[in-house]
Structure formats: C-alpha cells, structure tokens
C-alpha cells in the first residue's frame, strides 16, 4: 500500500535549523573513463524496484585464479557475502582446461553485475577471455552492469594489449591459427572493457580500501537509490516530508542521532522510513530495518540486528542481546530503523543510549505514540498534514488512475472529505474502481 506521510511528525535531537544537503557525492578513485551505458543512453536512470528480482546471482566474479584467488578475490568475495549479504558466483577450479563450462555461461546470464579483475595473467586464460566475451554479450541483452578492476596492471597495457597481454595473444594466435575470429573477438572484448569506468588498484593504499569501495558500489547497484521521479507509483505528499527528514539526519555531523517519526496509523510513517533507509543505507557500515517491532520478541529483533556479526547465531535472552549490541556496534557507523514501536522497553533493549553506537550513526523510530519518543529523550518537529489537494490527488490516482478529476465532478467532495490520512483516500478510491476495503489492506 502506498500512502502519503505528510501527516507524520518528526523528532530529532539537535541542530534543527541547519541548512543540510544529504550525502553529497564524494570524490572517488574509480577512473572516469567513457562509461558504457547498458540502457543505451548516457544519463543515470533510476532503477526499478523489481529490476533485480529475476537475477539468481547479484555478482559474477571473473578473475585469473593464479593471480588473485587466494588473495584479493578471497577478500572481495568474503566482503560481498558477509558484510553486505550479496549472492556471488565464483568458480572454484584452480585448473582451467578445455572449453568454458556451460555452468559458467549460465551463471553469467543469471547475474545482475559482473566484476572483472584484470590481472597480469588474465589474458593467458582462454576461460577468462570466453567469460569476458559472454559478459559483454549479455550486457546488451540483459542490462547487466560491468565493473572492471585493473589489478597490478597498467590500464593502457590492457587497452593496447602490451606487456603480458601481448605475450598471451602471441600464444593464442599460434594455438588458434585456424580460428582467427575467436582471437580477434577476445582482443575486441579486452579493448572494450578497458575503456569502461574502472578501479585501478595502484590508486589505493591497501587492498582493504579498494575492497571497501567496490562493495559500496555494488551495494548501490544491487540495492539502488529509488528516486521519486523514477518510482513506479506517485507517492503523494512525500517531497516535503523527505526534505524535513533530510534536514534532521544531518549526515555530515559525526554525532549519534535518534530521529522519531510519529502519527496515527495510515499517515505514511513506514513508507517515509523505508524510502530514507533505501536512499542512505549504503553510507553505513551496518544497517538494519526492523519491521513491525511491536509484534515481535525482543530477542528475535536483537538477533536480526546482529545477524551479520554473529554469523547467524540466535540470541535467546534479551539481556544478552543488549550486551552484544553495545559490544559490537559501539565502534560502527550504524543505521537502524525501528518501525512501529509501541513500548519504551523496546527502545531501551534495542537502541538504549547514544554511546551504544559509533560516530555518525542514525537511529530512526516510527510509532503512533508521541510520548514514547519523549520518554526516550527526543524533542519534536511537526510536519504538515496531507492537505485537501493532496488528499484529492491520492484519491483520484486509485479511483481513476488520474491525478485530478474532471471539473465539477462529485469527486472533489469525496476526495477532500476523505481526510488527511492517506489510508482513506486510497481505500475509497480502490473501492470505486471495483475492489473492496479488504483488497486495500
């Protein structure tokens, strides 16, 4: 259900009057080479929320085993799978003999992203070159995104096929003298991928720094920022509420902040919190969205928060869970959302004090109970309710699939009298289109 959150209230701890811009784009060490746009244009398109649902793997790793398997690739694969819970495909054969396996070709087709680690001996492997050719083939057919890494190689050597790459192709030309087209296809694939925007390992102080930046980039691609202009549905009244919440998040501040969103049921608290979580979670070392807090056991919620850290171990005692949250998150930049909390004990056991979390952490709490937030130590800021025009727009979207009714239509009165809560315009609109109230819940 899509609703409008302008009737919510926002609580914050400090700096309410600062002029804040949320998460300005930082300089990156990724090389700004001409970017191949798989969508066929040069602008950044907002990803559909369902665009990655059909992918079996989030990431396909293409690499030369003898160069990187036991070092760089092992660290990158662990970071993708462990820190951000990515589904990664990595073939584990040390010896690459014969033609590329059908399993690898299928995995490429079923992968959302492809990370290509161009190392000194990459071109000496016909498997790697066949993988690369298949990846470039799929990028045009299935909008797969390619993320190249120049690992201990000069990008110009890859692009112009000099050094170890020249030596490799000399051998390939001798071995495949009767299949010149295959060798030329490999050469073209390498030139093409070498002209994409890429990371160069020489620009980083350590592999750990490079791995961290790659993981952040992958997270943005797999869990994209949902821009309002590109969303599948028009979220009426969301703009103003988002601007207010951005103001109080104050991302450039290194303090710890608790932000509370409160209002009656149906005003859009969860929608607002979820949008913000999607937009900013990749800026944090650890993030977790806890839905329906009032319906769940505290130990289960604590387990959810700590799941990536405790590697799946279950917390049976809420006091133990509180101890582990304080112990393991006190030095991490954390984003937590507690959605639909209704008891002070929930806040005390899950996000008790600011010193439980590392600098820059943000804790967002949604609730119907303003007093709960006051007891936890926040002050409040009011966001305007859904006005008549917005209530009418929401009603018309769901009743007639239009933003406005025809002039003089009875709809003007129905939409405006349905109230500032987004629930009633939505429900009444759906009923008029032939549904029932139960269908809208």
pLDDT for residue 84: 52
CATH architecture of 57-222: 3-Layer(aba) Sandwich (3.40)
Pair 69, 61: CB distance under 8 Å: no
pLDDT at 314 over 80: no
pLDDT at 251 over 70: yes
Parallel, antiparallel or unpaired: strands 88-89 and 57-62: parallel
pLDDT for residue 96: 58
Among the listed ranges 155-164, 366-375, 401-410, which one has the minimum average pLDDT value?
401-410
pLDDT in tens, 222-246: 765 444 333 434 555 566 677 777 7
CATH architecture of 5-22+233-382: 3-Layer(aba) Sandwich (3.40)
Residue among 201, 196, 54, 55 nearest 136 (CA): 196
Kindly list the catalytic residues: 131
Portions of the chain given CATH number 3.40.50.300: 5-22+233-382
Span 394-422, average pLDDT: 53
pLDDT at 208 over 60: yes
pLDDT at 42 over 50: no
Crossing angle (nearest 10°) for helices 298-310 and 344-351:
20
Distance CA(173)–CA(372), nearest Å, equals: 73
Beta-bridged to residue 345, according to DSSP, are: none
C-beta atoms surrounding 430 within 10 Å: 18
pLDDT for residue 2: 39
pLDDT for residue 144: 56
Among the listed ranges 233-242, 259-268, 328-337, which one has the minimum average pLDDT value?
233-242
Span 353-366, average pLDDT: 94
What confidence category does residue 170 fall into, taking pLDDT thresholds of 50, 70 and 90? very high
Pair 263, 7: CB distance under 8 Å: yes
pLDDT at 47 over 60: no
pLDDT at 7 over 70: no
Edge-first strand order for the sheet with 145-150 is: 88-89, 57-62, 111-118, 145-150, 199-200
Residue among 166, 138, 137 nearest 153 (CA): 166
Portions of the chain given CATH number 3.40.50.10140: 57-222
pLDDT for residue 242: 76
Burial class (CB in 10 A: 0-12, 13-18, 19+), 296: middle
pLDDT in tens, 67-123: 999 999 999 998 887 655 678 898 876 555 667 788 888 999 999 899 999 999 999
What global pTM score does this model have?
0.55
Neighbour-count burial for 349-388, b at 16+ CB within 10 Å, e otherwise:
bbbeeeebbbebbbbbbbbeeeebbeebebeebebebbee
Among the listed ranges 41-50, 240-249, 318-327, 404-413, which one has the minimum average pLDDT value?
41-50
Q: What is the mean pLDDT of the chain?
A: 75
Pair 321, 302: CB distance under 8 Å: yes
What confidence category does residue 25 fall into, taking pLDDT thresholds of 50, 70 and 90? very low
Distance CA(367)–CA(104), nearest Å, equals: 48
SS3 of 116, please? Answer: strand
Q: What is the CB-side half-sphere exposure of residue 103 using CA atoms within 13 A? A: 5
Distance CA(234)–CA(236), nearest Å, equals: 6
Q: What is the CB-side half-sphere exposure of residue 11 using CA atoms within 13 A? A: 26
Distance linking the first and last C-alpha atoms of the chain? 7
Span 2-17, average pLDDT: 39
């Amino acid at each position: 259900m899509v609703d409008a959150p302008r009737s919510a209230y926002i609580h914050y701890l400090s700096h309410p009057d600062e002029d804040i811009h949320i998460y300005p784009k930082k300089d990156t060490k990724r090389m700004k080479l001409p970017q191949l746009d798989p969508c066929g244009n040069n602008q950044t398109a907002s990803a559909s929320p369902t665009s990655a649902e059909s992918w079996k793997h989030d990431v396909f790793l293409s690499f030369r085993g003898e160069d990187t398997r036991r070092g760089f690739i092992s660290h990158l694969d662990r970071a993708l799978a462990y820190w951000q819970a990515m589904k990664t495909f990595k073939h584990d054969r040390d010896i690459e003999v014969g033609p590329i396996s059908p399993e690898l070709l299928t995995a490429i087709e079923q992968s959302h992203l492809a990370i290509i680690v161009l190392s000194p001996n990459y071109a000496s492997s016909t498997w790697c070159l066949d993988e690369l050719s298949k990846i470039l083939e799929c990028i045009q057919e299935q909008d797969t995104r390619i993320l190249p890494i120049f690992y201990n190689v000069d990008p110009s050597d890859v692009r112009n096929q000099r050094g170890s790459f020249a030596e490799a192709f000399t051998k390939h030309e001798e071995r495949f003298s009767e299949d010149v087209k295959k060798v030329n296809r490999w050469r073209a694939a390498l030139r093409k991928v070498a002209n994409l925007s890429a990371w160069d390992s020489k620009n980083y102080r350590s592999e750990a720094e490079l791995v961290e930046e790659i993981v952040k980039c992958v997270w943005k691609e797999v869990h994209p920022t949902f821009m309002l202009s590109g969303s599948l549905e028009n979220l009426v009244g969301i703009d103003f509420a988002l601007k207010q919440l951005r103001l109080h998040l104050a991302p450039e501040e290194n303090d710890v902040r608790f932000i509370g969103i409160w209002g009656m049921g149906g005003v859009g608290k969860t929608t607002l919190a979820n949008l913000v979580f999607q937009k900013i979670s990749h800026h944090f070392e650890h993030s977790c969205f806890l839905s329906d807090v009032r319906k769940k056991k505290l130990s289960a919620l604590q387990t959810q928060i700590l799941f990536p850290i405790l590697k799946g171990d279950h917390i049976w005692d809420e006091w133990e869970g509180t101890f582990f949250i304080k112990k393991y998150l006190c030095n991490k930049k954390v984003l937590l959302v507690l959605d639909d909390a209704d008891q002070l004990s929930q806040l005390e056991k899950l996000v008790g004090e600011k010193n439980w979390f590392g600098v820059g952490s943000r804790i967002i709490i949604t609730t119907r109970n303003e007093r709960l937030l006051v007891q936890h130590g926040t002050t409040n800021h009011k966001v305007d309710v859904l006005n008549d025009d917005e209530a009418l727009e929401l009603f018309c979207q769901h009743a007639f699939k239009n933003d406005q009714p025809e002039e003089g239509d009875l709809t003007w009165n129905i939409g405006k009298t349905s109230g500032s809560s987004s629930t009633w315009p939505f429900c009444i609109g759906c009923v008029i289109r032939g549904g029932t109230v139960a269908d809208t819940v």
